Structure 1
Amino acid sequence: MSLLSDFKSFALRGNLIDLAIGFTVGAAFTTVAQSLVDDLLMPPLGILLGTTDFSDYYWLLQEGEGAPGPYDTIQAAQEAGAVTLNYGAFLTNVLTFLIVALAVFVIVRLVMRASRAVQDEFGETEDESTPETKKCAYCREAVPFKASRCSHCTSFLGTDGGPLQPDAALTPGRPPEDTALPASGA
């Protein structure tokens, strides 16, 4: 296969598209979480700690050549050419991460709870010995075990997990069993 066709089959896989959608939604969600931290949580927390912004917390490692310290803000220190360790910005980012992780955890927990409720409601109990996927007998791609049609080649797989062997009547190059030619010499 050529490089272009390999890339095309990789890029158009369902998992990659799902990943791209998840990444886009995650980026938008991160923006909302960052706003929650910066605009809603940090001001009251800053009032309790005596300052309105965590991002102004820093350690001065080396004074700048432009002006000697101390500096009121990180921006003033950076304008003077000072070297700073910005632990306040790091703490803000850690808080943002924890909020995003908590929100994702809550969403996943709600989805799992809803999934269990649907399974309980409709009697869909999963047998632990049943595999999640099987290979299509025609195109050899993995499909869900309970699928009745292959999502890749659209072959009929049956209703109870489908045949694991191709149907002789549909296999190219092999005549169907009921229309086989009689043996010669009869």
Structure 2
Amino acid sequence: MMKIIKEFKEFAMKGNVIDLAVGVIIGGAFGKIVTSLVNDIIMPPVGAILGSVSFKHLKFYLVDTDTMTEEDLAKAPAIAYGQFINVLLDFLIVAFCIFMLIKVINVLRRKEKKAEEKPAEPTEKECPYCLSQVPIKATRCKHCTSQLEAAQHG
């Protein structure tokens, strides 16, 4: 039993598990913000433009509702397409935000990669007599022992 507890502790304390937990918590909070944005800011003006319609309450009832009371109407089977529109907008906004975040991350990675790809300063030069490679600061070739110009860099 102690071995299982020890293994679970090692698993739970790994960096990627903690990162994942933080991501899920931030993602949940971000989802709530987007839901509020859609329900409280975007949909009311859209509903007003479409004739003071609240999308939350748009439903297609599967039974005849002409003789039903408010209480029966709330229990009647219906396709809540207005709520679906709200959820779809939530998804599209979250997906767009994630897309933009990944796009920024990729741009930063490309810049970082370009900085890493810069060629290093040469450490060797070619001997003009035997064409062997010698250290750049060398004044004499180690292969043919020819005298090299000190200022020569390739």
For the criterion TM > 0.5, the same-fold answer is yes
Task: Mark the structure with the bigger radius of gyration.
Answer: 2
Aligned position for 1:77 = 73
Query: How far apart are the structure 1 equivalents of 2:64 and 2:53?
Result: 24
| CA drift at 1:119 | 3.0
Segments of 5+ residues of structure 1 without an aligned counterpart are 126-186
TM-score by structure 2 length? 0.65
Query: How far apart are the structure 1 equivalents of 2:26 and 2:116?
Result: 30
Q: Which amino acid aligns with 2:48?
A: I
Matches within 5 A, 1:148-167: none
Closer, same or farther in 2 for the Cα pair 1:97/1:76, shift >3 Å? farther
Q: Deviation per CA, 1:129-172: give whole Å up to 9, x if none.
A: xxxxxxxxxxxxxxxxxxxxxxxxxxxxxxxxxxxxxxxxxxxx
1:102 aligns with 2:101: no
| Identity fraction in percent | 34
Structure with greater proportional helix content:
2
Q: Which amino acid aligns with 1:111?
A: I
1:124 aligns with 2:88: no
Query: How far apart are the structure 2 equivalents of 1:105 and 1:34?
Result: 18
Matches within 5 A, 1:1-186: 2-62=3-63, 68-69=67-68, 77-78=73-74, 81-120=75-114, 123-125=115-117
Query: How far apart are the structure 1 equivalents of 2:12 and 2:76?
Result: 46
SS in 2 for 1:52: coil
Structure 1 stretches of 4+ with a deviation exceeding 6 A read none
Segments of 5+ residues of structure 2 without an aligned counterpart are 118-154
CA contact (8 A) 1:63 1:82 kept: no
CA contact (8 A) 1:60 1:84 kept: yes
CA contact (8 A) 1:42 1:52 kept: no
Query: How far apart are the structure 2 equivalents of 1:87 and 1:6?
Result: 47
Closer, same or farther in 2 for the Cα pair 1:6/1:107, shift >3 Å? same
Query: How far apart are the structure 2 equivalents of 1:15 and 1:94?
Result: 30
| CA drift at 1:62 | 3.5
* Alignment coverage as a number of residue pairs: 117
Q: Deviation per CA, 1:37-93: give whole Å up to 9, x if none.
A: 1122111211222233211111112468xx93386xxx8722xx3222211111100
Query: How far apart are the structure 1 equivalents of 2:60 and 2:107?
Result: 46
Query: How far apart are the structure 2 equivalents of 1:20 and 1:51?
Result: 41
